[in-house]
Amino acid sequence: MKAYDKIHQLYHLIETGTAADLPGPYKVGVDLGTADVVLVVTDHEGNPVAGSMRWASVVKDGLVVDFRGATVIVEELKSEVERIIGVELDRGATAIPPGTVGRNALACSHVIAGAGLDPVCQVDEPVAAAKALNITHGIVVDIGGGTTGIAVLKNGELVFTADEPTGGTHVSLVLAGAYRISFEEAEALKKDPQNHRKIMPVILPVIEKMATIVKNMLAGCEEFDEYPVYVVGGTAYLTGFGAEFGKAFGREVYVPPHPLLVTPLGIAMFG
């Protein structure tokens, strides 16, 4: 199954609450995001088997701020997927923003351990996205809720990774200030595709800042100028985001289907 087909399949499975009829052994990945938590199961070849997600605010800027809340959500997602596939899940992988170290990095593994999943590995989020997209030569930009991370791959090897603040949360904060509404109302406004054309002029400075962050990360690395650039993460759902990000970045960028699910799928493939 091709990379984009896998992403479409995963979206369908989550939306319908169904499972693909694929044999085990299975791999499990848990993505603890700033705005959502996603649990994905794949077969041994990385084809989606089932998944579930929950909107949540248990992580801030890549750090777990509500350990108990995160653990409960993962427990619930684990139970839902186990019921769908009829198999008990006992191991899983997680991911963190690049550069996260020490106890902050261990927190994600502790969360899934508390939910009954033995942590088998932990990867950088953009590296997981690159895995899902089957990229061996290119740049992956993972725009999370609180941070923007990148991974550069050359001949299948990771040669550079970095992460800086600014993400989807900042888009919501700008909307909340501009329209004088609560943060929760701004999140809802942002998630409705019917509002995207209206809000784009308001949030354009944030998108430009994200693009500038990535340009600065890659400054002095001329050898990467010809690498294709892929943008994933929930913010990339915004209609017109790819075009505006590309303008500010100075290069064409590619936004895969259902960009919110790319990193969770890649995490499971590492599992």
Report all structural domains of the chain as residue ranges with CATH numbers, in order of start.
3-130+260-270 (3.30.420.40), 135-256 (3.30.420.40)
d(CA 266, CA 141): 14
pTM over 0.85? The answer is yes
**pLDDT tens for the 271 residues of the chain, in order:** 899 999 999 999 999 999 999 998 999 999 998 788 999 999 999 999 999 999 888 777 667 778 888 999 999 999 999 999 999 999 999 998 776 767 777 888 999 999 999 999 999 888 899 999 999 899 999 898 878 888 899 988 888 888 888 888 899 999 999 999 999 999 999 999 999 999 999 999 999 999 999 999 888 777 888 899 999 998 999 999 999 999 999 999 999 999 999 999 999 999 8
Res 157: pLDDT: 87
DSSP for residue 235: G
Predicted local confidence at residue 220, as pLDDT: 76
Q: What pLDDT was estimated at residue 223? A: 80
Identify the three-state secondary structure at position 25.
coil
Q: How far apart are CA 32 and CA 26, in angstroms?
A: 20
- What are the angstrom distances between the C-alpha of 220 and each of 6, 160, 204? 35, 12, 26
In 22-117, at which residue ranges do the beta strands (DSSP E only) sit? 27-32, 36-42, 48-55, 59-60, 63-64, 91-96
